[in-house]
Amino acid sequence: EPEVTQTPSHQVTQMGQEVILRCVPISNHLYFYWYRQILGQKVEFLVSFYNNEISEKSEIFDDQFSVERPDGSNFTLKIRSTKLEDSAMYFCASSEGGVGAFFGQGTRLTVV
């Protein structure tokens, strides 16, 4: 069964550094998403991406964040200058549209 895959599984970075989280969505899916979950809190929507552009973003997704689909398979989330409060589990997801999204296993980002 096809799966969404994310790399790395765990990333530790120093405050102020840039990080790129990578995702390979399911190949025939059209919609791509990033969510995050701060420890002990809800899973929160960050951004959705369709047809090579952002279709919706949350208030969390400020200028520090960007997404890209650099080729036909990868979908990346970049955080330009990480802050301590960016420490969270980041989930990538993809969907065909309207049938529920399929999630990756997550990347745990720790900012020190």
Residues found near other proteins in the complex (CB under 8 A) = 3-4, 30-31, 33, 35, 41-45, 48, 50, 55-56, 58, 91, 93, 95-106
From the CB of 74, what's the least distance to other proteins, in Å? Answer: 18
Residue number, 70 or 97, with CB nearest to other proteins: 97
Nearest 5°: phi and psi at 71? -145, -165
Q: What's the rounded Cα separation, in Å, for the pair 38 and 106?
A: 12
DSSP letter string, 36-83: EE-TTS-EEEEEEEETTEEEEE-TT--TTEEEE--SSS-EEEEESS--
CB of 97 to other proteins, least distance (A): 3
Q: Judged by CB, which is closer to other proteins: 82, or 106?
A: 106
Nearest approach in angstroms of CB 6 to other proteins is 9
CA distance 95 to 28: 9
Nearest distance, CB of residue 30 and other proteins, angstroms: 7
Do 33 and 44 touch, CB atoms closer than 8 A?
Answer: no
Q: Of 35 and 75, which CB lies nearer to other proteins in the complex structure?
A: 35
* 4/82 with CB nearer other proteins: 4
